[in-house]
Amino acid sequence: MSRLLSQKLNRVARDRTSGAAQLALEAVAAVEDWLKRHPSPSEGELEDVVVMLLRLQSSMAPILRLANVVALAADSHMRAVALKSGLRGFRGSLEGARGRIARQFAASLPDHGRVAIATYSFSSTVIGALTAAKRHVSSVLVAESRPALEGKLTASKLAHERVAVQYTTDAALLGLLRSAHALVIGADAVLSHVFVNKIGTRVACLAAREAGVPVYVLSDSTKFLPEELAAPFWRPSEGPQELLWNRPPNGVELRNPLFEHTELDQVRVITEAGTLDPAGVRGAVESVAVSPRFKRLAD
């Protein structure tokens, strides 16, 4: 396997600050460059690339989808052509999605007047959509999103874009939601019946439902994962315990789950192709072609 490709993908693996879409684009560029230098890849070489991608950051849905693109090319009799085409389509989805989602979101807002929006945690897609629609938005209610406080980054970026922000605690968000036109959040992954996002998302969505406030999940289609690709998102994951309590007394066990699943019932998912109800999401997820060799390589 190419040492240069390995070095580039290792840089992606070490990056803990960039978003999933940016990291996936860097991984795509690395594989595209490798294909130029290896224009006739063997089946075994493509399997090696799949394994390298799966070792990157398997909790990022676009990386899993990219690994599947390479695996599908390995299934083809015209491997190089299939890989080139698959990478081009995947890159197109990543590069154009954010702008199209922003336009779809803006179209969902009232034509006249301005409305208050609530959000939770951090999503670059949500930031982009709220910024693009700011002439329709009077203010954004941002929860702090404990324990890592991603809400501070959300509030800072919105304020930088001259969007009025109201910053509050997670507990207060649940009551203040009644004043919002909608709760708008991102997703780490979208599965057939649930979406995956930062811990606390489910409670916020339940509070919005109780208050009669619609919930919009903003996600590009590269985060749509059929069951065969979604295994990492079913495994429990715990964050750094020191975020909760640096030196707890003896007898205190710390639990810091990072993500949780939220049912898609009564949620609308805005993608680059339009707004989907739960049935539409299931159809889109189940339509993703999965390489039969993916599970073997993932194991």
Of residues 234 and 138, more confidently modeled = 138
pLDDT computed for residue 291 by the predictor: 96
Paired residues of 195 in beta bridges:
190, 262
Question: What are the backbone angles phi and psi of residue 77, rounded to the nearest 5°?
Answer: -75, -20
Name the token pair of 213. 């406030």
pLDDT tens digit sequence for 6-52: 899 988 888 866 778 888 999 999 999 999 999 999 999 999 999 99
Taking a C-beta distance cutoff of 8 angstroms, is the pair 132, 102 a contact? yes
Helix intervals (H) in the chain: 3-14, 20-37, 43-54, 61-75, 79-108, 124-132, 150-160, 170-176, 201-211, 278-286, 294-298
Query: How many angstroms separate the CA atoms of 284 and 125, rounded?
Result: 19
Q: Please choose, from the candidates 284, 283, 296, the residue with its C-alpha nearest in 3D space to the C-alpha of residue 67.
A: 296
pLDDT of 23 reads 87
In the chain, the domains with their CATH numbers are 3-97+289-298 (1.20.120), 99-286 (3.40.50.10470)
pLDDT grade, residue 232 (50/70/90)? confident
Amino acid identity for residue 207 in this structure? A
Phi first, then psi: give them for residue 168, nearest 5 degrees.
-145, 175
Q: Which residue has the higher pLDDT, 56 or 65?
A: 65
Per DSSP, what are the bridge partners of residue 184? Answer: 119, 216
Per-residue pLDDT, averaged over 241-252, amounts to 95
What would the pLDDT profile of 69-123 be if each residue is shown by its tens digit? 999 999 999 999 999 999 999 999 999 999 999 999 999 999 889 999 999 999 9
- Per-chain mean pLDDT for the chain: 94
The residue-averaged pLDDT of 223-230 equals 94
- Quick check: 1 pLDDT over 70? no
Residue 2 CB contacts under 8 Å (≥ 6 apart), including other chains: 34, 37, 38
Phi and psi based region of residue 26 (left: phi greater than 0; alpha: psi -120 to 50; beta: remaining): alpha
CB of 188 closer than 8 Å to CB of 59: yes
How many other CB atoms sit within 10 Å of the CB of residue 111?
6
Instruction: Give Cα separations from 97 to 58, 117, 197, 223 (angstroms).
Output: 21, 21, 19, 11
Residue 58: the pLDDT is: 67
